[in-house]
Amino acid sequence: SQQGEEDPQALSIQEGENATMNCSYKTSINNLQWYRQNSGRGLVHLILIRSNEREKHSGRLRVTLDTSKKSSSLLITASRAADTASYFCATAANQAGTALIFGKGTTLSVSS
């Protein structure tokens, strides 16, 4: 069964706006990762946050993690048309940080 569940399932915004996606998971984790996928191709790793971290930034991305609520959020600031993609959260529960469990993803559409 899916570990992570993203919310919303779909999001449509204008260029320049911010996009926020949320992820919930069920069990304790080693880390949580966010990936982007364009049109059914391979996934691109965006950012990883460890279970003992609360917030992390990478360029226009900001990820938060609340282990007490078993939830995470991904914020993309100043969105661009090129950000149009599906975004997945994935959790790694084992010590090796492998065997990722993915959510069903949020489809983001950014229009110019």
Nearer to other proteins, 18 or 38 (CB): 38
Nearer to other proteins, 41 or 69 (CB): 41
CB of 19 to other proteins, least distance (A): 20
Q: How many residues bind other proteins (CB under 8 A)?
A: 29
- In the chain, the DSSP E strands lie at 5-7, 10-14, 19-24, 31-37, 43-50, 55-58, 61-66, 71-76, 85-92, 101-102, 106-111
DSSP 90: E
Nearer to other proteins, 2 or 18 (CB): 2
Nearer to other proteins, 11 or 93 (CB): 93
- Report how far residue 76's alpha carbon sits from residue 108's, in angstroms, rounded to the nearest whole number: 10
Contact call for residues 101 and 3 (beta carbons, < 8 A):
yes
Question: Hunting for tokens 């949020």 — which residue is that?
Answer: 106
CB of 3 to other proteins, least distance (A): 10
Query: Which 16-75 positions form the footprint of other proteins (CB under 8 A)?
Result: 30-31, 33, 35, 40-45, 47-48, 50
Binding footprint of other proteins on the chain (CB under 8 A): 2, 30-31, 33, 35, 40-45, 47-48, 50, 88, 90, 92, 94-105
